[in-house]
Amino acid sequence: MSAEAHASSNYYVPHGTQWPIIGSIGLFTTMLGAATWLEDLAFGKYLFVLGLLIVLFMMFGWFGTVIRESQGGVYNAQVDRSFRWGMTWFIFSEVMFFGAFFGALFYARVFIQPWLGGSSNSLFTNLLTWKGYEPTWPSNGPANVGGDFEAMKATGIAAINTLILLSSGVTVTIAHWGLKEGNRKKLCWFLLFTVILGFSFVVLQAHEYIEAYTKQNLTLGSGIYGSTFFMLTGFHGLHVTIGAIMLSVILVRSLKGHFTPDNHFAFEAVSWYWHFVDVVWLGLYIFVYWL
């Protein structure tokens, strides 16, 4: 996979790569594992882990290659633009993924609840099937699925986490300024702060979950409220974790001095991703915790 290091004015087209097929095999194994695991077959979880390892291996290899090529200076401004378009649209697809779950939450609150309560043309839903059910939110449905629970509050951990994410958005921006000024110190320090904030968010959320399960009797099984709450915050938490890991990688690369004021796509990609995670959280805070 060696490339000519000089042609920086040319559009670089690699010749052949083994990483994608490894990635495919990895994902395939992962999902095969997950599926067999869910259908509780013994070897499922091992397959699953194995698959994840393969995917991890692929990521190291693939990103490694790209970084080496980038350092080798085979990428020109146009290649850089391609990467930017790629990242932009990837983030857009993520937005749509969360959109599906926000949509579900919206539908459950604005439509399903009143309908179970007999409004619109489902009067008899309430008169015959769910006799006298009063629409409410938070709700675990007319059958009180999962038993009574204590809903999440907008104050407390959620509020703290909001502050954390918002400030992490600021720190990463400052780090970016530092990078643009060529101020390594500023860059690394504020990146470090960002990473710390990111992980502390994850820790706090883990704590919140434990509280929910142990003290509030609020679980995935707590009807539609539990479902939407855990799926939304869960997927978001997953993204925060990934984002924080990516930030750590960027931190290491900054320490190695990979980035120059005018060539640091990787850094920007990660910061975009981080801001995206940030914005999603605002949505969560408003619609899941607050309203």
Partner 1 sequence: MVINIFRNAFRSAMITVLTFMSGAAFASDADMPSSINMPQGVTPISHNAWWIHMFAFWVCVGIGVVVFGLMIWSIIFHRKSAGYKAAHFHDNTFFEVTWTIIPFIILIALSIPAAKGLVRIYDASEPDMTVKITGYQWKWQYDYLQDGFSYFSMLAADSAKASRLDSGIDPASVPHYLRDVDHPLVVPVDEKIRLLITSNDVIHSWYVPDFAEKTDAIPGFVNQAWIKVEKPGIYRGGCTELCGRWHGFMPIVVVAESRDDYQKWVAAVKAGGGAYINPQTLQPEQNGSPVEFAPAVLNFNAPTAAAAPVSAPVATAAPAQAANKPAEAATPASSSAWTMQIAMTRGKQVFDQNCAACHMPDGKGNPAMSVPAIAGGPVPNGPLAAHISLVLQGKGIMPAWGKILKDDDLAAVITYERNAFGNHTGDLVKPAQIKAAR
Partner 2 sequence: MSNTAVAHEHHSEHPSGIWRWISTTNHKDIGTLYLFFSLLMFFVGGSFAMMIRAELFEPGMQLVDPLFFNELTTMHGLIMIFGAIMPAFVGLANWMIPMMIGAPDMALPRMNNWSFWLLPFAFLLLLSTTLMPGGGPAGGWTMYPPLFLQTGMAFPFVIFAIHLMGISSVMGAINVIATILNLRSKDMPLMKMPMFVRSWLITAYLLIAVMPVLAGAVTMMLTDRYFGTSFFNAAGGGDPVLYQHVFWFFGHPEVYIMILPAFGIISEIIATFSRKPLFGYTSMVYAIASIAFLSFIVWAHHMFTVGMPLAAELFFMFSTMLIAVPTGVKVFNWLATMWQGSLTFETPMLFAIAFVFLFTIGGFSGVMLALVPADYQYHQTYFVVAHFHYVLVTGAAFAIMGAVYYWLPKWTGHMYNETLAKWHFWLSVIAVNVLFFPMHFLGLAGMPRRIPDYPVQFTDFNMLASIGGFVFGASQLLLVAGVIVCIRGGKKAEARAWEGAHGLEWTLSSPPPYHSFTEPPPASAIWAQPYRPE
Member of 28, 57, 90, 115 binding partner 1 (CB under 8 A)? 115
Q: In this chain, which stretch among 110-118, 164-172, 202-210, 270-278 interacts with partner 2, using CB under 8 A? A: 110-118
Q: Among 37, 57, 130, 290, which residue sits at the site for partner 1 (rule: CB under 8 A)?
A: 130
User: 25 touches which of partner 1, partner 2, none (CB within 5 to 8 A by kind)?
Assistant: partner 2
Which residue type, as a one-letter code, is found at position 39?
A: E
Residue 173 Cα distances to 112, 138, 166, 187, angstroms: 41, 36, 11, 9
The only residue of 49, 67, 112, 245 in contact with partner 2, by rule CB under 8 A: 112
Length of the chain, please?
A: 291
Using CB under 8 A as the binding rule, whether residue 245 contacts partner 1 is answered as no
- Largest alpha-carbon pair distance within the chain? 77
CB nearer to partner 2: pick between 24 and 167: 24
- Residue 132 touching partner 2 (CB under 8 A): no
Residue closest to 215 by CA, chosen among 271, 264, 149:
149
**Six-digit token pair at 200?**
């502390």
User: CB of 282: closest distance to partner 2 in angstroms?
Assistant: 20
Q: Residue count at the site for partner 2 (CB under 8 A)?
A: 80
Q: Is 46 in the site for partner 2 (CB under 8 A)?
A: no
Closer CB to partner 1, residue 133 or residue 267? 133
**CA 17 from centroid of its chain's CA atoms:** 28
Q: CB atoms < 10 A from the CB of 145, how many?
A: 16
Q: How far is CA 240 from the centre of its chain?
A: 5
In eight-state DSSP terms, residue 257 is T
216 touches partner 2 (CB under 8 A) = no
Q: Please report where in the chains the tokens 């670089």 appear, as a residue.
A: 12
Tokens, residue 216? 């509030």
Alpha-carbon separation of residue 15 from 24, 250, 285 (angstroms): 19, 27, 47
Q: Does 124 bind partner 2 (CB under 8 A)?
A: no
107 binds partner 2 (CB under 8 A): yes
Q: Restricting to residues 189-228, which ones interact with partner 1 according to CB under 8 A? A: 221
Phi, psi at 181, each rounded to 5°: -75, -5
Q: Tokens 């937005």 map to which residue?
A: 95
Question: Is there binding between residue 136 and partner 1 (CB under 8 A)?
Answer: no
By CB under 8 A, residue 119 contacts partner 1: no
Which of 59, 221, 275, 287 is the binder for partner 2 (CB under 8 A)?
Answer: 221
